[in-house]
Amino acid sequence: MRVINVIEVVENSVVGVESFGVFEEQLSQEVVEKAEELFLKKVEEFIGEPLTDEDKEAYLDDAYYADGTKGYYYVCISWSDI
């Protein structure tokens, strides 16, 4: 089974890990979309404003967002296997 993790780090401490299990390949896109939505929601909450479609695409392509201007903040999407 594969797992998609959305990992949130503040000031070099992991403050949140939310995991999404991919049990069947035919449902994997549905699970990926849920994880991506959560990832983008966390970025928007930190930034404090909605992201443009262009920004969303860029962050999803990189699979992470980092900001050191308001205290160190990092959120990423990471795949793992069980």
Q: Cβ distance 60 to 39 under 8 Å?
A: yes
What gap in Å lies between CA 46 and CA 21, rounded to an integer?
A: 25
Q: What pLDDT shows up at residue 26? A: 62
Say whether pTM exceeds 0.85: yes
pLDDT in tens, 2-44: 899 999 999 989 999 999 998 877 668 889 999 999 999 999 9
Q: Provide the residue ranges of all domains of the chain, joining segments of one domain with +.
A: 2-81
What gap in Å lies between CA 75 and CA 15, rounded to an integer?
A: 10
